[in-house]
Structure 1
């Protein structure tokens, strides 16, 4: 059985991606930081569908913990799947924070950088020895890094996501010798728990977001999760080094 690692899968896009990947017959190791109950919900949903999943804690902003995380992954691969490698990695863990350019602090900039850019870089580096040749990686970026998604207040967040898109291309270039494909997805506005459940706290912003979207609604986690699962799958075997906007035509 093939196995995927999905970071930040206790809710939202990561939860959807984990479930969609499992529905294709792939085992899933999913991570959470604070929301253990959400991660266990994800595991339960996968098991209800007949799949296999394990939840492990991971702080994507603390790279010094990554070697210990790799040991946990190796143990789970041995114990659950009798394997010493995994096939797919989804670098999805993240958080959103906005501030006008002049109000962005170094602390906020550094926190976003650690989780959104340094985290995927060094987590991938740490896990690469356990990854099977011929596998695939998907990085969750954002249309905040594209001209279609430019909104005031996201200069730091969008900069980190833009860096992740560039990193995706370098990973694709260097990992191609092992047959590993690397792509990114750039979601538009999606109904998740990002920015402390902003959409639940400020539902009045949703109609304006929907009006800016060609397909006329806010994105749902499954809109992105299905795309991530598809990019890992055989039908996308000839796609690498691409960033795919998944936004329903935001600002089209």
Structure 2
């Protein structure tokens, strides 16, 4: 009569590791076999069969806490348990597929955060001389507009697209981006603010609008968050915004 095989041999035959077998012992999935005179466990064919069964169910995604109940069940309960496991696996598969699709969208950049027409606007900016940082700033602003004032996004994007058709507007927006890196008291901040305000006064249609927010109970707060985005990181922008708004109001242009 065979003396059985060692844990290492059992692991090799079943396609697992000795550590995994010990883990199965710990969870009560496989009874610890007898030991030989040298103190080594010896696994027989029944032990090996049980090990293969446990490994197969575990590999199918069945939690270890459920495997013992399934293996010890009668045929009807065993079949019903497998149906339930299949249902849960299907749900997991659907969830993983959805996550994979989201990853694909994330890999595609801004399209997970913004609609196609807003992404198309961002894609135009590098060819107009805007830097990668400029595009990121613009994207973040559009994401915030979509989150805080979704009803205004289409009109907001259309206004910016209209402005980008004007080379002078484009040059002013580049200066505006660069001004963020200046000291707030730098005289260039006031010069750029004046030039931008004068351009908006000459053509108010270029002034980006967030119309529609006034219908919201918290519209003023949302507008405040949008109008002063990133000014904590770029203090010069805060001064520029104040200067531009002051000059527009002085010219009789309503600035909420």
TM-score (normalizing by structure 1) = 0.25
- The structure that is helix-richer by fraction is 2
Asked which structure has the greater RCO (Cα within 8 Å, sep 6+), the reply is 1
TM-score after normalising by structure 2: 0.25
> Which structure's CA Rg is the greater one?
2
